[in-house]
Structure 1
């Protein structure tokens, strides 16, 4: 498997994202557009990023610092690996957020979690991450 959030890994994540109707199709229904970055807690900048247009991932790769982000998600390598193996349900997401195991360096967690049209696909994205080979 490619290193987590590397250019190769992010491209694989983009493929899996677009194959999952509960993620890409659900977000397409609300015309969801965003730039999401992922990385390790404590690092200066995220490792990988993905651009979403109308719910579909249109590009992904290493983060080079030049793209404005809407979301920047950070966690420890151990937490990421746990969520990749087991996924993350709504209760787990709440626990991860309140315990600061999942940090939103950029992005409004409270606004996202209050909107089921966004919250359910967000939770599903962790399951999809686990499919990256």
Structure 2
């Protein structure tokens, strides 16, 4: 298994993302396009990046200075916990409120208030489990 958010892992995540019609369709319906960084709280930059255009992932790999719309951070232990058992809305809310999940870029509160985005965000964790 590749290290989480490594270039190889991100490419596998992209394939699993695109295989999940529940995720891609929901995001296509709202014309969701974003550069999403993933990483760890103490690092200066994210480890991996996923580029999404109209719901589908079009590229992924090691972060290489791309401009981000979202930059999501948690400890490696926390990411592994979510990959082993994908969280629900309540678990993610608790993680954010307690500081276990941080958004260096992006508005978590606004995303949660929009069920068209919140549902796919939660779904992305079960997709990570297959990467």
Provide the TM-score with structure 1 as the length reference. Answer: 0.97
Question: 2:30 maps to which residue?
Answer: 30
- The residue correspondences of 1:1-133 to structure 2 (distance < 5 A) are 1-65=1-65, 67-132=66-131
Task: Provide the C-alpha distance between the structure 2 equivalents of 1:41 and 1:88, rounded to a whole number of angstroms.
Answer: 19
Task: Provide the C-alpha distance between the structure 1 equivalents of 2:95 and 2:69, rounded to a whole number of angstroms.
Answer: 20
Task: Provide the C-alpha distance between the structure 2 equivalents of 1:4 and 1:111, rounded to a whole number of angstroms.
Answer: 27
1:87-108 residue CA offsets vs partner (Å, 9 max, x unmatched): 0100001001000101001000
Q: Structure 2 regions of 5+ residues with no counterpart?
A: none
3-state DSSP class of the match of 1:4? coil
> RMSD of aligned C-alpha atoms?
0.6
Q: Structure 1 regions of 5+ residues with no counterpart?
A: none
3-state DSSP class of the match of 2:130? coil
State the 1:21 CA deviation: 1.5
State the 1:25 CA deviation: 1.1
Could you list the structure 1 runs, at least 4 aligned residues long, displaced by more than 2 angstroms after superposition: none
3-state DSSP class of the match of 1:57? strand
3-state DSSP class of the match of 2:32? coil
